[in-house]
């Protein structure tokens, strides 16, 4: 309001002065306009960029035991995502959270209907990066990896991926700009992926949706400068979040490729409790005769795991872990992910009607076996 008032006052003074004084030709100022010399990298030919990149983008389907139902119960979980072909022989880059806990991975190439089997080569959960090998097709077309260091806020980018799994063979494309650099986020969902902290990310205005994870973020030259990984969502009571997506810079990914190629899991080890759980619901309470009205019901334990060694068994209901209140199966998964291998924690649980407190030392999560398919 103050700015508007000052502008209005200046206009009034200008009109008064114009009326009171005569206008002379030598008071006229000529301004010369020059062509736009912006240094931002613009997407002049989107179709040409897509022709270069699309053949190297694949859709990924990952199947595995549902950690919200317990693998011992036979329930399965389906994850959809995207991948980028790194080599002509079929090495594929994607997000770790796309294939985490998967026992079967399928890959569909651009423009094709056949879903080929793929195996896990290596993964780094700390950076949310995984390397796969697809089996069947030969002489594939690899993406061109660019350089993320010269990126500037305002540069045009395209985000490509299997958005909402609308089509396995024809990826979705969104256009936008780099909105910011060096972002740090805590990402997670309502499934067994839990939460993860990621740093040094690129923020983009190009829309990123479920299924885009693992897909390329490309520049105006058709080079991959990042891997689409997360998107901001609205929280209750807030205005809808629009076009706030995040990508891992390709420079970070390049530094991890050597370790991923060697196989297994790299990065910081994850804590391991060794239980399979479901949320306590009215149906579960009636079926198991439970006293607890909420918590994580143990439906399976792993032989030799910290939970097993500490005496936790099937039918126990965990209501607290390391000081964190546990109300659902997912809240236990998240709490365990925030802990560290070798850390001593206290677990509170109900065994039928008895409230018990158990102290145990967490182990390290077993690394996924190379060749998991």
What residue spans of 175-312 are helical by DSSP H? 250-254, 257-262, 282-288, 306-309
Burial grade of 214 (CB within 10 A; 0-12, 13-18, 19 or more):
buried
Contacts of 319 (CB under 8 A, 6+ apart): 292, 294, 295, 296, 325, 326, 327, 348, 349, 350
- Residue in 56, 66, 69, 97 annotated catalytic: 97
Token duo for residue 110? 């651009």
Active site residue 128: yes
Contacts of 16 (CB under 8 A, 6+ apart): none
DSSP 8-class letter at 284: H
Check: CB of residue 230 under 8 Å from CB of residue 167.
no
Active site residue 27: no
Integer Cα distance of 96 and 267 in angstroms: 12
Active site residue 294: no
Pairing of strands 129-134, 115-124: antiparallel
- Residue in 69, 213, 279, 331 annotated catalytic: 213
The region that residue 182 occupies, defined by phi over 0 for left and psi between -120 and 50 for alpha, beta otherwise, is left
- Residue in 124, 128, 156, 316 annotated catalytic: 128
DSSP 8-class letter at 340: -
Integer Cα distance of 311 and 360 in angstroms: 10
Q: Which residues are catalytic?
A: 97, 128, 213
């Amino acid at each position: 309001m103050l700015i508007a008032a000052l502008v209005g006052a200046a206009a009034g003074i200008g009109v008064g002065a114009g009326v009171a004084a005569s206008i002379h030709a030598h008071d006229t100022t000529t301004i010369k306009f020059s062509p736009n010399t912006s240094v931002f990298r613009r997407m002049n030919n989107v179709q040409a960029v897509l022709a270069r990149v699309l053949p190297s983008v694949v859709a990924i389907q990952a199947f595995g035991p549902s950690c919200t139902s317990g693998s011992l119960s036979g329930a399965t979980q389906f994850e959809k995502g995207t991948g980028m072909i790194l080599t002509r022989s079929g090495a594929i880059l994607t997000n770790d959270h796309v294939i985490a806990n998967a026992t079967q991975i399928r890959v569909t190439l651009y423009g094709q209907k056949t879903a080929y089997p793929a195996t896990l080569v290596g993964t780094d959960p700390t950076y949310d990066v995984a390397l796969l090998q697809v089996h069947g097709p030969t002489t594939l077309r690899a993406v061109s990896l660019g350089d993320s260091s010269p990126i500037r806020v305002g540069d045009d980018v395209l985000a490509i991926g299997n958005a909402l799994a609308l089509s396995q063979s024809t990826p979705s494309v969104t256009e936008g700009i780099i909105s910011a650099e060096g972002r740090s986020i805590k990402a997670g969902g309502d499934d067994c992926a839990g939460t993860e902290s990621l740093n040094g990310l690129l923020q983009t205005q190009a829309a990123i949706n479920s299924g885009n994870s693992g897909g390329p973020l490309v520049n105006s030259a058709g080079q991959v400068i990042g891997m689409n990984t997360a998107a901001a969502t609205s929280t209750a009571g807030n205005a809808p979040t629009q076009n706030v997506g995040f990508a891992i810079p390709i420079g970070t990914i390049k530094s991890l490729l050597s370790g991923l190629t060697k196989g297994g899991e790299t990065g910081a080890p994850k804590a391991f409790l060794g239980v399979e759980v479901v949320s306590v619901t009215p149906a579960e309470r009636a079926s198991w005769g439970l006293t607890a009205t909420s918590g994580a019901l143990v439906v399976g334990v792993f032989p030799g795991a910290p939970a097993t060694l500490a005496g936790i068994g099937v039918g126990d209901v965990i209501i607290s872990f390391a000081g964190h209140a546990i109300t659902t199966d997912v809240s236990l998964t998240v709490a365990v992910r925030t802990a560290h291998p070798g850390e001593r924690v206290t677990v509170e649980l109900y065994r039928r009607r008895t409230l018990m407190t158990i102290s145990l030392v967490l182990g390290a999560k077993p690394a996924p076996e190379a060749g998991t398919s």
